[in-house]
Amino acid sequence: MTDAIRITDSHCHLDFPDFDEERDDIVSRAVEAGVARMVTICTRLRQADRVRAIAEAHDPVFFAAGTHPMSAAEEPMVSVEELVALAQHPKFVGIGESGLDYHYTAETAEAQKQSLRIHCAAAHETGLPLIIHARDADDDMARILTEEHRNAPFSCVMHCFSSGAGLAHAMLDLGFYLSMSGIAAFPKSKDLREIFAAAPLDRILVETDAPYLAPPPYRGKRNEPAYTIHTARVGAELFGMDWPEFAARTEANFERLFAKAAA
């Protein structure tokens, strides 16, 4: 790994079976590419032990946990106390992913909203950033996060942001961060790139969401944390910056938001 340029994959899923046969190699390839840290995300609390074990086994890997909105009606409703207990682990650095997904699971909207508000409360109580998944739910997302933040402030990243400009503006107004995934690098994502380009640079993170959403030149293949580099290079072009400067700025952003990982 080069000492001059390093970035962080702020959101991946290293526990998914896609990586079972070569997880050690996946982490090693990421570090060699300059991806010095990875945050692997637990999406169902009953799998938290497995995700924690991956973080414990690999120095560059940290973890977060929550109930994914698409699973909110299938899983036992999470409690603030459960999330606070998990947060005692030294490598646990974020709450979620939580959020709202009305694209596939609109019929479970009420359970998703309840779960989201619980995650917001846990983010406030722990001081750890909330990690949000948003799809086809911009109005409810903006309303709930604004209400909850007004009641009890917390920090937050809109992971794999691919929603509209209105939601982006509302989230940035709250001081939240937007994370660029491989979607932002897709040729047809011009409108999304314009949303990112209009955002303050000090609110931008990069991620893979691996094993999903591989950026070009790997689109259509299994994604992995090493490919964060390709999305980040698109980000550098978008902001008209040299690659090393963009990498340094997004690293500073990550360390500001995920202060526990930085420490």
- At residue 105, the pLDDT reads 97
127: left (phi over 0), alpha (psi -120 to 50) or beta: left
Task: Report whether 74 contacts 63 (CB < 8 A).
Answer: no
Q: What is the pLDDT of residues 1-23, one digit of tens each?
A: 445 689 999 999 999 998 999 99
pTM across the whole model: 0.96
The answer to the question of residue 175 being in a domain is: yes
> Higher model confidence: residue 150 or residue 1?
150
Q: Which residues contact 151 (CB under 8 A, 6 or more apart)?
A: none
Handedness of CA 35, 14, 197, 249 (dihedral sign): negative
User: By residue range, what is the domain housing residue 195?
Assistant: 7-262
Q: Could you give the residue ranges of the DSSP H alpha helices within 161-240?
A: 165-173, 190-197, 228-238
| Rounded CA separation 202/215 (Å) | 23
Q: How far apart are CA 132 and CA 160, in angstroms?
A: 9
Q: How many CB atoms lie within 10 A of CB 209?
A: 23
Q: What is the pLDDT of residues 203-235, one digit of tens each?
A: 999 999 999 999 999 999 999 999 999 999 999
pLDDT of the residue at 4: 65
In a domain, 258, yes or no: yes
Verify cis geometry, omega within 30 degrees of 0, for the bond prior to 217: yes
Q: How far apart are CA 169 and CA 145, in angstroms?
A: 13
Residue 224 resides in a domain: yes
pLDDT tens digits for range 106-140: 999 999 999 999 999 999 999 999 999 999 999 99
Could you identify the residue written with the tokens 């902001």? 239
Would residue 2 count as lying in a domain?
A: no
Residue 248 — pLDDT band, cuts 50, 70, 90? very high
In-domain check, residue 17: yes
CATH code (residue 55):
3.20.20.140
Calculate the average pLDDT of the chain: 96
| 34 vs 228: CA distance, rounded Å | 9
For residue 261, CA distances in Å to 141, 251, 257 come to 27, 11, 9
Q: What angle do CA 95, 98, 102 make, to 5 degrees?
A: 170
Residue 78 domain-assigned (yes or no): yes
Number of structural domains found in the chain: 1
